[in-house]
A = this chain, B = another copy of it.
């Protein structure tokens, strides 16, 4: 599919996802968002609320990808340890940040700004803040790591703030060809021939089992519109031929 200069990983931080309590919807949302702006999501991980696990994952991912997006663990309770873990991963100090405290004061009266809530103003040294339009407590951006809330509505707002500041690549164009009930095993060889001839196009075959039987889909992705159109035409031809053979039987 050709190389993109701009890549990303998602790191979901949260016991609740691993325990099965909460299905993670953030990875899918971020994957779509990044796709729209030409950033390739290359990996995603879910780790528990354990500082050493977060540190290890952040350091593994930030060395490999242009950006790392984390979600979760930036609230006021004892299990919100993301900011401290990120500071440790970067080897920087962490302390109450006057800018973050000012944001919290937009929501909380001074009497309500107790130590737990002030914890949400702890930001690693050198980080830029990511404002939170929904509930004020900010995320932050340090090095190539962008730290966001786990609550989907808050995360979406943070991503909208960060998005326009990201380096972006050429957007990947996507086309689908419905293979209907033609089995994957019937078109696999023909498809592989097309795949080998079309370096600039990434092609996937995705079965799904519906109440009406198998419904397969072939998905083609490329940054090169001409190469994509040619590959789509070849796949359509392959599928149409197989469909007409099947009809003749």
Contact = CB atoms under 8 A, between A and B. Distances in A.
Interface of A: 15-25, 27-28, 31-35, 40-49, 53, 75-79, 108, 112, 114-117, 119-120, 134-135, 151, 153-154, 172, 174, 184-189, 191-192, 195, 202-209, 219, 221
A231 to B, nearest CB: 13
- Among A19, A43, A114: residue with most chain B CB under 10 A: A19
B16 A189 contact: no
What is the total number of copies of this protein in its complex? Answer: 2
Contacts of A53: 43
Contacts of A204: 15-16, 49, 77, 79
A9 to B, nearest CB: 9
Nearest to A196: B78
Contacts of A31: 17-20
Given A17-B31, A184-B77, A116 B208 contact: no
Given A23-B25, A28-B23, A151-B208, A188 B116 contact: yes
Given A16-B206, A18-B42, A19-B31, 7 more contacts: A18-B41, A19-B174, A43-B48, A45-B46, A75-B205, A77-B184, A114-B186
